[in-house]
């Protein structure tokens, strides 16, 4: 009997291990994980406030939770400096940095799809066709 699917985190572990793509997507799933990774990819390390400013709309709770999940997945490193005031920096780990070329190619694929089908909508919520900046790489 196949177990009932209740969400990404309810997948039986054996099913996740059988499909490395599914495993990868489980790690990256979530509204804020990819934006956090992309923000950290653009710099050597960021402090909490710097990272929060780059992610308009994220709450402190969501940022803390997403960073903790990315840390436990081995994609983000947290460095705490014992000085006053306390200073904490976040950076991509070596494993996290390996995502950069993959995300670049995923973005290029997305641009190709949008150029071929400009009426594409994200989550079915957009009511206007996506406008592409032709000057973008």
Q: 22 pLDDT band (50/70/90 cuts)?
A: confident
- CB neighbours of residue 37 within 10 Å: 20
Residue 34, both tokens: 């990819």
Q: Determine the CATH number of domain 9-116.
A: 1.10.10.10
**Cis, peptide link before residue 83, omega less than 30° from 0:** no
**What integer pLDDT is reported at residue 71 of this predicted model?**
94
**What integer pLDDT is reported at residue 6 of this predicted model?**
47
**What integer pLDDT is reported at residue 115 of this predicted model?**
83
Q: What is the pLDDT of residues 51-64, one digit of tens each?
A: 999 999 999 999 99
How far apart are alpha carbons 20 and 39 in whole angstroms?
Answer: 25
Residue 48, both tokens: 């909490």
Residue that the structure tokens 């709450």 belong to: 59
Q: What is the pLDDT of residues 118-135, one digit of tens each?
A: 776 665 555 555 555 555
Q: Which long-range contacts (CB under 8 A, 24 or more apart) does 55-61 make?
A: 58/32
């Amino acid at each position: 009997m196949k177990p009932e699917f209740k969400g990404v985190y309810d997948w039986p572990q054996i099913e996740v291990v059988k499909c490395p793509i599914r495993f990868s997507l489980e790690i990256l799933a979530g509204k804020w994980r990819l934006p956090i990774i992309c923000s950290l990819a653009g710099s050597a390390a960021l402090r909490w406030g710097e990272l929060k400013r780059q992610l308009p709309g994220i709450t402190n709770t969501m940022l803390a939770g997403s960073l903790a999940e990315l840390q436990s997945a081995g994609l983000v490193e947290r460095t705490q400096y014992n000085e006053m005031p306390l200073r904490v920096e976040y950076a991509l780990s070596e494993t996290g940095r390996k995502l950069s070329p993959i995300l670049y190619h995923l973005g290029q694929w997305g641009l190709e799809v949008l150029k071929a089908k400009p009426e594409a909508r994200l989550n079915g919520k957009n009511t206007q066709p996506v406008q592409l900046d032709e000057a973008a790489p």
